[in-house]
Chains A and B, each alone.
Chain A
Amino acid sequence: MTPKLTRRGFLNLAGATAGLTALAACVPAPSGEAAAAEEGVTVQFWIFWTQPGRIHDQIMADPSLPDFMGDNTLEFRTGVANEARLAAVAGGTPPDIGALGYYLDFMARDVVVEVTDYVAASSVINEEDFLEINWGQTHYQGVQKGVPAIEGFVRRGFFYNARMVADAGLDPDVPPVTWDEAWIWHEALTQFDENNNLLQIGLDPYDAEGGVGPGNDGWGMADSFGFHYFDEDTKEFNLDNEEFAEGLEVWGDYIRLIGPDNLVGMRAVEGQGTWGGSFNAEVQACIIEGYWHCGETFNEVPEVAEQIRASWTPVPERRRGTKLQQGGGHMVQLFKDGNYKDEAWPVAEWLQGSYFCDQIFHNIGWLPSYKPYYDVADQNLFPGLAFVFQSVQEANYWGPQINCEIEDFVRVKYGEFREKVYRDEISGADAVAQMQDLCTKEYKAAGFA
Chain B
Amino acid sequence: MIALRRSFPATSREWRNFLLGVAFASPWIIGFLGFTLYPVGSALYYSFTRYDLVRDPVWIGVQNYVAFADDPDFKLVAGNTLWWVLISSPLGVLSAFLMALLLNSRIILRSFFRSIFFFPAIVPVVVTAFVWIFLLNIQYGAINSTLQSMGFKTIPFISSPDLMKWSLVVIHMWSQGAAMVIFLATLQDVPKSLYEAATVDGANALRRMWNITVPMVSPIILFNLVISFISGFQYFTLPWIMTQGGPSRSAEFYAIYLYRNAFQWFRMGKASALAWVLFVLILLFTYLIFRTSGRFVYYAGAAR
Contact = CB atoms under 8 A, between A and B. Distances in A.
Interface stretch (B109-117, B151-159, B284-292): B151-159
B260 interface: yes
A274 interface: no
Interface of A: 11, 82-83, 86, 89-90, 105-106, 109-111, 193, 195-198, 260-266, 268-269, 271-272, 283, 406, 408-409, 412, 416, 419-420, 423, 425, 438, 442, 445-447
- Which among A260, A438, A445 has the highest number of chain B CB atoms within 10 Å? A445
Given A198-B138, A445-B267, A445-B270, 7 more contacts: A109-B55, A195-B154, A261-B247, A262-B139, A263-B159, A412-B264, A446-B266
B267 to A, nearest CB: 6
Interface in B212-255: 243-244, 246-249
Nearest to B140: A269
Contact of A90 (B53, B138, B159, B244): B53
A111 B56 CA distance: 12
A418 B260 CA distance: 19
- Which among B54, B72, B248, B265 has the highest number of chain A CB atoms within 10 Å? B54
B139 A416 contact: no
A89 B63 CA distance: 26
Looking at chain A's contact residues, the main secondary structure is helix
A12 B55 CA distance: 44
Given A193-B148, A445-B67, A264 B159 contact: yes
Interface residues of B, number: 41
Contacts of A265: 137-141, 156, 158-159
A367 B139 CA distance: 34
B236 to A, nearest CB: 13
A105 B248 contact: no
Given A111-B54, A197-B154, A446 B267 contact: yes
A441 to B, nearest CB: 8
Contacts, number: 105
Nearest to B138: A265
B148 A197 contact: yes
Contacts of A447: 50, 52, 58
Nearest to B160: A261
Contact of B246 (A193, A264, A446): A264
A419 B246 contact: yes
A406 B265 contact: yes
Contacts of B161: 423
Contacts of B260: 412
Given A109-B52, A111-B54, A408-B264, A268 B133 contact: yes
B54 A89 contact: yes
Nearest to A105: B266
A264 B247 contact: yes
Nearest to B241: A272
